[in-house]
Amino acid sequence: MFVPYRERSVQVGMRVRVYRNLLKSNFFSIQAMEGPDKGKVVGYARAVGLENVRFVVSKKTWERVISEGVRTVFAFADGALVDCLEALPAGFDERITLMPFERCYFFNRQRPEIPVTEAARGYLFGSDFWGAAEPAGLDL
């Protein structure tokens, strides 16, 4: 379920940046990275499906968050929008997360010592990115 912001919109297949909303804890903010609303938040969703995902962390902003204890967005997933749902669909069990007070990178919960920088497809839901474990699937 996509909740639009200020009459803005985004189309399936468009490149977006998605990050956890700091004020609406159950939602992710969706920022358009192309089109007429490029660079602006276009809406919110509880589960956001992405393809060709790149996980990005601003190390400088992360260091400020750690040293000053200030909450701010310093990490996001960048990819092509697949869809927005109310819940995580079945079949996604590879869990990629970010624990800012432990590490400054995204990682697979089963192999926390290895940074994850990209994935073929999956969903941001809850506090994690959920990928499908399949032979031709995610680069975990």
Q: Can you tell me the distance from the alpha carbon of 42 to that of 65, in angstroms, rounded to the nearest whole number?
A: 25
Average the pLDDT over 104-122 and give the result. 94
**pLDDT at residue 133 in the model:** 58
Mean pLDDT confidence for 90-115 = 92
Among 44-58, 100-114, 123-137, whose mean pLDDT is lowest? 123-137
Compute the distance between CA of residue 108 and CA of residue 123 in angstroms, rounded to an integer. Answer: 14
Backbone angles phi, psi at 61, to 5 degrees: -70, -40
Tell me the domain boundaries of the chain: 3-131
- What's the confidence (pLDDT) of residue 1? 86
